[in-house]
Amino acid sequence: MASTSNQRSGSSANSGNRKKVHVGTGVPSRRASAEPQPKPKVEERPKAAAQGRRRTPSSARGGNAARMGDAAARAKREERARRLAERSKKRRTRVLVVGVSLVAVIVGAIALYRAPLFTIQTIEVEGVSQLTAEEVQTLAAVPGDATLLRYPGGDIVERLESDPWIESVTVTRDFPDTLLIRVTERTPVALVDTGDKFWVVDASGMVLGEQSFEESATLVVIRDVQGLDPKPGRESSSDTLDNSLAVLTGISEELKEKVRAISAPSVDETTLLTTDAIEILIGEAVDLEQKAFLALSIMTEQAGKVIFIDVRSVDNPVSRGL
């Protein structure tokens, strides 16, 4: 008896190769049946979450950096403000300390200035020969209550320099109780004969005072000057006298030692009168070194014979003898 089991078995064996039949109409249905369907993707949410925890989005990182930058800038501003406040406080403190110290010094100085300390007990005078120390002290008129810290120095100098003989004065302290006055006197160079009086003058023509001829016998006498009106403490206003003084101070010492007088009726007629009774017509006070050399040379060459020498022209000196 024929059996059908083999066929079923065969059909069972080939059942795995059977094609799936898609029931539908049209081309899309046949294409869908012919093409295998892709497997759906499974979302890996845990992995994405883990990655989210590990990485911070760029926008979040930028926000954090901005907040950190603002905090740092704010900290710098606060630190700068703190330093400025400290410097301002220290400056105010220094100003206050200096101000208090200055006030204290001023108050102390005023108190010391007014205190009866370092009272002047002794007045010493130096540099006088024409004047006496007593005359200088009297003229200085230092107040009796003056101290070395409180004395009228300007007034003392002014009073002393009003004397014709005094050219300059310095006043210094010598602690604890001495005031030192140093005087520079004017140097007399000639005695001006006005016919009835003799007046002592220095090189600038300052009239120092009246003296007798005997008191100033060592000085050269200037005579014959016209129109003089000498006053002690006043400089000469005479061109002739000024020229005579310039001649006297400008010639050599060798010739000056031989001069006993100067006759000066005018500038051009200014004449030196020597101890040997020789007249040297020297004129204006120019080329004095050369004029003095010529006069001395002629006096030496014609010793004992010459009585007159004219050196007003250094290119053509003239002399006359006995």
pLDDT value of position 148: 92
Q: In the structure, what pLDDT confidence band is assigned to residue 201 with cuts at 50, 70 and 90?
A: very high
Q: With 90 as the cut, is the pLDDT of residue 5 above it?
A: no
Mean local confidence (pLDDT), 113-127: 84
pLDDT band at 73 (very low <50, low <70, confident <90, very high): confident
| Cβ atoms within 10 Å of 319's Cβ, excluding its own | 19
Euclidean distance between CA atoms 202 and 230, whole angstroms: 13
Q: Measuring CA to CA, which residue among 296, 206, 193, 218 is closest to residue 251?
A: 296
- The enclosing H or E element of 159 equals helix 153-161
Where b means 16+ CB within 10 Å and e means fewer, 188-204 reads: bbbbbbeeeebbbbbee
Tens digit of each residue's pLDDT (9 = 90 or more) over 162-189 = 999 999 999 999 999 999 999 999 999 9
Is pLDDT above 60 for 268? yes
The one-letter code for the residue type at 41 is K
pLDDT score recorded for residue 160: 97
Q: Tell me the fold of 188-321.
A: Rossmann fold (3.40.50)
Helix (H, G, I), strand (E, B) or coil at 274: strand
Q: 131: how many CB neighbours lie within 10 A of its CB?
A: 17
Gap between the Cα atoms of 123 and 80, Å rounded: 65
Q: Domain 122-185: what homologous superfamily?
A: membrane protein fhac (3.10.20.310)
What is the C-alpha separation between 145 and 175, in angstroms, rounded? 16
Are 146 and 120 within 8 A, CB to CB? yes
User: What contacts 24+ positions apart, CB below 8 Å, involve 252-259?
Assistant: 252/289, 252/292, 252/293, 252/296, 254/292, 254/296, 255/292, 255/295, 255/296, 259/220
Strands 207-210 and 178-185: unpaired
- Residues 208-227: pLDDT tens digits? 999 887 777 889 999 999 98
pLDDT 10s digits, 231-250:
999 998 999 999 999 999 99
Question: Domain map of the chain by residue range?
Answer: 122-185, 188-321
